[in-house]
Structures are given as C-alpha cells and as structure tokens.
Amino acid sequence: MMSIFAKLLVIVLLSGALGLSIYYDSVKKYLRYGFILILTVSYIYLLLTITFINREKLPERTAVLMPGYNFRHVLDYPWFYTTTDGVEANIGNVILFIPLGMTAVYLIRTKHPYIACGTIACFASIVIEAVQYFTQLGSFEMDDIIHNTWGAIIGCSIVLVLMNKERDVRAIAKRLMPLWSFVALMILISLVSVVAEGIRFLDRINA
C-alpha cells in the first residue's frame, strides 16, 4: 500500500503531466483530451484513497471550525510539522487540489477563472469534509477547506501562465492579480490566527 508521501508525489507528477499536455497544444485535440481524461481519472482515484479509502474510523465525530487552528500546533507542538500528520494536514492538503484547479480552469473557459476554480474547489472540499465527518473517517476542519482551495488556486495560476504562449509579463501579471489578492488574504488570516493563538498560549503559561 502506498504511503501518503508516495501518493502526494504521484499527484505532483500528475500535475506536471497535466501542465505539459496543456502547454503542448499542437498535439491532436482528441489525443490531448484523452490523455487529460486518463490523468484526471488517476487523480480522482488517488484523491479517494487519501480522503476515504483505507482510513481508520474515528471514535466520534469531530469538527474544527476555527480558521488557522493548525497554527496552535506550531506553538504547542513544534515537532508536529515534521510528522506525517503535520505534512498531510498542511502541505498535503494544498498539493491535493492543485490538479483539480488545473483541470477546472482548462475545461471551463470563463472570464473569471479564479472565482470558478475557487468555488468548485471550496464546494468539493466541503463535500469531502462533510462525508468524512458523518462517516467518522476524518474531522471536518475549516483549515482543510482553506488549504484545498489554496491548492486549486495555485493550479489555476499554473494553467493561466502555461496558456499565455506569448510570455507577455504584463499579461501574466494581470492574470495572476487575483492570486496575489488571495495570498494577501491568506497571510492576513494566518497572522490573525497566529496572534490569537499566541495570546492564548501566553495565557496558558501565565495561568
């Protein structure tokens, strides 16, 4: 059985293959779409194995609705981010949705790609979290939804850059403008969460 790290590595490789198939559009359309379909099916299988299949059932349903909750582990348990759970809870959840963002923006041509990708990713993540919650195969965590959406936005940005054949820096920067706004929002949420958790951490020390 593949480890979580091996599955994430395969997803990274799938993302690279998706990017190449999108970039080299000189290949016949039916071959390109066929290849993308195969990669997408492989990705969905990996997604299901990571989120549902072979997961141990939790003793009770749990939900963490506070955004940035995982930052508490940085203060309480600095070693957490070196563990499998730490990597999966943060970096893994971002990587997990990169192919979704890439596929969505490529197949759904719209004037507002970030809104489309963000909405699709957010909805898909909420469904996964809800199923995990009700089946007790995982916790419903707001951080997972944020990280998943962030991954899809990154995937969307990659495709937008790859589809700009002229490599016009201004055009690329303009297309990526919503990404910088999203980054700024995530940084702000992270800072607020870190400050809040830092205050709580100091209160526990002084108590």
Most confident of the following: 21-30, 122-131, 196-205: 122-131
Residue that the structure tokens 């209160």 belong to = 203
Q: pTM here? A: 0.79
pLDDT for 176 equals 65
Mean pLDDT, residues 155-184: 70
Mean pLDDT, residues 144-154: 89
Position 174 pLDDT exceeds 80:
no
Mean pLDDT, residues 165-180: 62
The burial of 109, by beta-carbon neighbours within 10 Å (0-12 exposed, 13-18 middle, 19 or more buried), is given as exposed
pLDDT for 84 equals 56
pLDDT for 195 equals 66
pLDDT for 11 equals 87
Place 148 in a pLDDT band, splitting at 50, 70 and 90: very high
Q: How many CB atoms lie under 10 A from the CB of residue 199?
A: 10
Mean pLDDT, residues 69-85: 57
Higher pLDDT, 172 or 107: 107
User: Closest Cα to residue 135, out of 61, 46, 54, 51?
Assistant: 61
User: Closest Cα to residue 121, out of 141, 143, 98, 140?
Assistant: 98
Contact call for residues 141 and 64 (beta carbons, < 8 A): yes
Most confident of the following: 130-134, 177-181, 197-201: 130-134
pLDDT for 168 equals 61
Q: Which amino acid is at 79?
A: W
pLDDT for 74 equals 56
